[in-house]
Amino acid sequence: MKILSGTETSKEIKEELKKEVLNLKSMNIEPTLAVILVGDDPASAVYVRNKQRTCTELGFQSIERKMPEDTKQEDLLAVVKELNDDPAVNGILCQVPLPPQCNEQEVIQAILPEKDVDCFHPYNYGLLAAGIPKFMPCTPFGVLQILKRYGYETKGKNVVIIGRSNIVGRPLSILMSLKEWNATVTVCHSQTAKLAEVCRSADILISAIGIPNFVQAHYVKKGAVVIDVGINRVHDPSHPKGSRLVGDVDFEAIKDLAEAATPVPGGVGPMTIAMLMYNTINAARFQEGLEKFEL
Ligand code: GUN
């Protein structure tokens, strides 16, 4: 089974983005990403740190707004407004999930659509559903870039996606059904009947459900390409931290069946961050009246 490395693919893409950052800087444009982190969820803190590190690596300006766990909705909205009003800020990302007293949808909708580099705002979601996306949803577009750069065509393929979340499953199903990708897409969820049988019909099987070892051998057709979007922390006393990250796919169980698969870690995760940087470059370009930079 071939390993589809998101670490390697994201490196390749980041090199392309670095060149574009230099090009923008030669026009006195400096891409700037603002990240809002509310509370002390350790996983969110790791994601945000990785995003900041990648900003530095690519030559972006980055702004971080850390807010306490008991932040009130109005105070969060005030920070969003301040970043909306700052012309130096091209992209705004508010890390989710938010603490329970905050209203996630209200925050997402408060971010100006032209700064919504997550592509979470209903306006950008609508453009995507209409087949005219401006920003690309980061994780779904990361999946498409891995497939493309390893030479796996989606045209005419049966794609089965496990999971219908707003961040991954649903936007990925929309993208793959567009003319540019031409896949035949099935979206599965907790109420899907004969799930394993449906998954076995997939030429490309994508799991975004968040349950360790969910995808077993009987879910995978011989020769299928398997994309594991899950990032699950499991208890492991043999590990220095007492835990480790695993995906949704039982990698050992599928290794003699699948033609190729993405590992966890080092698969889709690093792609998401690269795509966020890509969207931030385009946010800066659009705000300067320039056309879309294509990957
Ligand atoms: N939490 C997990 N993934 C993401 C993401 O891509 N963007 C934001 N804002 N929060 C997340």
Max CA distance (Å), the chain? 56
State the amino acid at position 102 in one-letter form. Answer: C
The full DSSP string for 18-76 is HHHHHHHHTTT---EEEEEEES--HHHHHHHHHHHHHHHHHT-EEEEEEE-TT--HHHH
Per-position pLDDT tens, the chain of length 295: 999 999 999 999 999 999 999 999 999 999 999 999 999 998 899 999 999 999 999 999 999 999 999 999 999 999 999 999 999 999 999 999 999 999 999 999 999 999 999 999 999 999 999 999 999 999 999 999 999 999 999 999 999 999 999 999 999 999 999 999 999 999 999 999 999 999 999 999 999 999 999 999 999 999 999 999 999 999 999 999 999 999 999 999 999 999 999 999 999 999 999 999 999 999 999 999 999 999 9
Report which protein residue has its CA nearest ligand 1's atom 1. 96
How far is the centre of ligand 1, averaged over its atoms, from the C-alpha of 120 (Å)? 9
Same fold, 27-113 and 138-269: yes
Whether 219 and 186 have beta carbons less than 8 Å apart is answered as no
In this predicted model, what pLDDT tens digit does every residue of 85-113 receive, in sequence order? 999 999 999 999 999 999 999 999 999 99
pTM of the predicted model as reported, rounded to 2 decimal places: 0.97
**Is the beta carbon of 34 within 6 A of some atom in ligand 1?**
no
**Is the beta carbon of 203 within 6 A of some atom in ligand 1?**
no
CATH topology of domain 27-113: Rossmann fold (3.40.50)
Does the annotation mark 118 as catalytic?
A: yes
Q: What is the dihedral of CA 94, 112, 120, 148, to 10 degrees?
A: -100
Does the annotation mark 95 as catalytic?
A: yes
Distance CA 119, CA 114 (A): 10
Task: Count the residues in the chain.
Answer: 295
**Is the beta carbon of 118 within 6 A of some atom in ligand 1?**
yes
**Identified catalytic residue from 95, 145, 203, 250:** 95
Residue ranges covered by each domain of the chain = 27-113, 138-269
CATH 3.40.50.720, applies to 138-269: yes
State the amino acid at position 58 in one-letter form. Answer: L
**Is the beta carbon of 257 within 6 A of some atom in ligand 1?**
no
